[in-house]
Amino acid sequence: MVSLALIILSSIFFTGVILQTKSITSGRKGPGILQPVKDVIRLFKKGSIYSETTSVIFTIAPVISFASVIMACLVIPFGSWKGIISFDGDFIFFAYILALGKFFSIIAAMDTGSSFEGMGASREALYSMFVEPAFFILIGSFALLTGNTSFYNIFSTLHLGSSITYTLGGMASFVLIMIAMIENSRMPVDDPKTHLELTMIHEVMILDNSGFDLGLILSTGYIKFAMYGTLIANFYIGGLSFLWAFPVFLLVQLLFAVIVGLMESFMARFRMSHNPQFILVLSSVSFLIFLGVLLVLEKFV
């Protein structure tokens, strides 16, 4: 319960912080950190327009992908507080409930029949496919390290004690930040600000969505970001009391958002053909974490 409330709370300012960081680094004042939420509220008040070529899939897809993210949030714990649901193997549930939402947004894009959206859908599907091994090797390694298979048990029994586990924590944060960037279609894999359909991934898939549906898709993105931020924060707040855990959580979320903003300000997007290579690198970093875990557990023969 605590984690869901905190995820919703941080999703309110998360994207705003990214935008504000980008504005400041480019010498502008910025719209204020609440602007993304204001945009969503404005969109919620509007009606949607549907193209004649679309079917019921296009209509229900935004709701399903929103619901899938909320479902995924339910299993995320907050330090020593359980998520709303928690069971053995819930990280697999987490990954595939997100995949379900993504699947629907992909077929909804295909449903419009636009050549752009088909292109975006194929890119999104490809990158999601490459991200999957990185996520499972990462969480699997920590499951092995702690001997548990639910998020709550993994994080509550995870104690970063020796120097090698600090390294593992750092590498895990890196992989999770990058997975979050890819899953949310941010730089350096995708450019959320581009106005050019040919270079888009996620943006091009939602070109036909409008009004309430678009608002839902945008808020899905905000919550997804905050969700990954919470996952990262969990590495650091395992054994802390709430009084300590809460500020650490906020700090991790804020730092995450600022890092995203800085990354988007000071580098160019990757060439599309370099993206799969880059995403595969995440899998190899995850594999390093796995080897580190084996080292800690002295499982090397």
Partner 1 sequence: MNFINIFNQQVVPVSSIPLLNYNSFFETICLLVENHPERHCVLYFGYKENISIHLICCIADDNEHNIKVTSSVINENSVLHSLTVVNLSFEKFEREIHENFKVNYSDHPWLKPVRYAEDRADKSKTIANYPFYSIDSEELHEVGVGPVHAGIIEPGHFRFVCNGEQILHLEIQLGYQHRGVEQLFLEKTKLIQRTILAESIAGDSVIGHTSAFAFLMESLSGLMPDRELLFSRTLAQELERIAIHTGDLSAICTDVAYQLGSSVFGRLRTPVINFFQEWCGNRLSKGLIRTGYNPFPFNRALADRLNTILDAFEPDFIEMNSELAKLPSSLSRFERTGMLSNEQLLSIGTVGMSARMNALNRDIRVSHPYGLYNEFKHEPVIKHHGDVYSRVQIRKQEVIQSISYIRQLLSQIPHSQALPQPQPQPSILKPDSFAISLTEGWRGEICHGCVTNETGEMLIYKIKDPSFHNWLALALAVRNNEISDFPVCNKSFDLSYCGHDL
Number of residues located near partner 1, criterion CB under 8 A: 31
At closest approach, how far in Å is the CB of 31 from partner 1? 15
Among 56, 196, 243, 301, binds partner 1 (CB under 8 A): 196
Window 12-31: residues binding partner 1 (CB under 8 A): 22, 25-28
163 is a site residue for partner 1 (CB under 8 A): no
**Dist CA 299 CA 199 (whole Å):** 46
Q: What is the DSSP letter of 87?
A: -
Window 229-288: residues binding partner 1 (CB under 8 A): 264-274
Cβ proximity to partner 1: between 44 and 278 the closer is: 278
Tokens of residue 182, six digits: 């890819």
199 is a site residue for partner 1 (CB under 8 A): yes
Instruction: Map residues 131-160 to x or -, x wherever contact with partner 1 holds by CB under 8 A.
Output: ------------------------------
Tokens of residue 62, six digits: 């935004």
Q: Check the CA dihedral 201-283-188-213 and report its sign.
A: positive
Tokens of residue 255, six digits: 């730092």
124 is a site residue for partner 1 (CB under 8 A): no
At closest approach, how far in Å is the CB of 206 from partner 1? 13
Cβ proximity to partner 1: between 200 and 237 the closer is: 200
197 is a site residue for partner 1 (CB under 8 A): yes
One-letter amino acid of 177 = I
Tokens of residue 29, six digits: 């004042």
Q: Which residues pair with 81 in a beta bridge?
A: 78
Cβ proximity to partner 1: between 25 and 48 the closer is: 25
End-to-end CA distance of the chain: give it in Å, rounded. 43
**Dist CA 248 CA 21 (whole Å):** 20
Window 174-193: residues binding partner 1 (CB under 8 A): 187-188, 191, 193
At closest approach, how far in Å is the CB of 180 from partner 1? 18
129 is a site residue for partner 1 (CB under 8 A): no
CA distances from 127 to 2, 48, 196 (A): 32, 29, 20
Beta-carbon contacts of residue 274 (< 8 Å; ≥ 6 apart)? none
Rg of the Cα atoms in the chain: 19
202 is a site residue for partner 1 (CB under 8 A): no
**Dist CA 70 CA 223 (whole Å):** 8
Please state, as a whole number, how many other Cβ atoms lie within 10 Å of the Cβ of residue 284.
12
Instruction: Map residues 97-116 to x or -, x wherever contact with partner 1 holds by CB under 8 A.
Output: ------------------xx
119 is a site residue for partner 1 (CB under 8 A): yes
86 CA to centre of own chain: 20
208 is a site residue for partner 1 (CB under 8 A): no
Cβ proximity to partner 1: between 87 and 266 the closer is: 266
Q: Which residues bind partner 1 (CB under 8 A)?
A: 22, 25-28, 115-116, 118-119, 122, 187-188, 191, 193-199, 264-274
